[in-house]
Chain A
Amino acid sequence: MKFWRVPLDAIEVEVTQGVVHIIEDRCKGCGFCIVYCPRDVLEESPHFNAKGYHTPRVKKEGACVNCHYCETICPDLAIYSVEAQPASS
Chain B
Amino acid sequence: MTTKKNQPTHPLDSLVRTDRIPHIWCPGCGVGTAFSSCLIAMKSSGIDLQKTTMVSGIGCSARGPGYTNLDSYHTTHGRAIPYATGMKLANPQLNVVVFSGDGDLFAIGGNHFIHAARRNIDLTVVCVNNLNYGMTGGQVAATTPSLSKTTTTPQGNPEPPFNLPLLAFASGATYVARWTILHTRDLTKSIEEALQRRGFSFIEVLAPCPTGYGRRNRERPLDALRFYQEKSIIKNDAHPADIILDYQKGITLGTFVDVEKPTFTDIYEKTCRLDPAACM
A residues touching B (Cβ–Cβ < 8 Å)? 21, 23, 25-26, 28-32, 35-36, 51, 53, 69, 71-77, 80, 82
- Listed by A's residue number, 9 A-B pairs whose Cβ atoms lie within 8 Å are A21-B7, A30-B221, A30-B222, A32-B221, A74-B36, A75-B35, A76-B32, A77-B21, A77-B32
Chain A residues whose CB sits within 8 angstroms of the CB of B13 once the complex forms: 77
Nearest residue, chain B, Cβ from A32: B225
- Bound Cα distance A30, B220 (Å): 10
Check if A23 sits within 8 Å of B27, measured CB to CB.
no
Q: Is the interface of B mostly helix, strand, loop or mixed?
A: loop
Check if A80 sits within 8 Å of B11, measured CB to CB.
yes
What is the number of contacts between chain A and chain B, taking CB atoms within 8 Å?
A: 79
**Quick check: which of B138-146, B181-189, B235-243, B244-252 contacts chain A, the rest being far away?**
B181-189
Q: Is the C-beta of B168 less than 8 angstroms from some C-beta in chain A?
A: no
Nearest residue, chain A, Cβ from B28: A30
On whether A29 and B33 interact (CB within 8 A), knowing A72-B184, A73-B182, A77-B16, the answer reads: no
Interface centre among A23, A25, A29 (most CB of B within 10 A): A23
Q: Which parts of B214-245 form the interface with A (CB within 8 Å)?
A: 221-222, 225
Check if A75 sits within 8 Å of B22, measured CB to CB.
no
Check if B27 sits within 8 Å of A53, measured CB to CB.
yes
- Bound Cα distance A29, B36 (Å): 17
On whether A72 and B36 interact (CB within 8 A), knowing A25-B22, A30-B28, the answer reads: yes
The 6 closest A-B pairs by CB, nearest first: A75-B32, A28-B27, A72-B184, A30-B28, A75-B33, A26-B22
Min CB gap B220→A, angstroms: 10
Q: Is the C-beta of B31 less than 8 angstroms from some C-beta in chain A?
A: yes
- Bound Cα distance A26, B36 (Å): 14
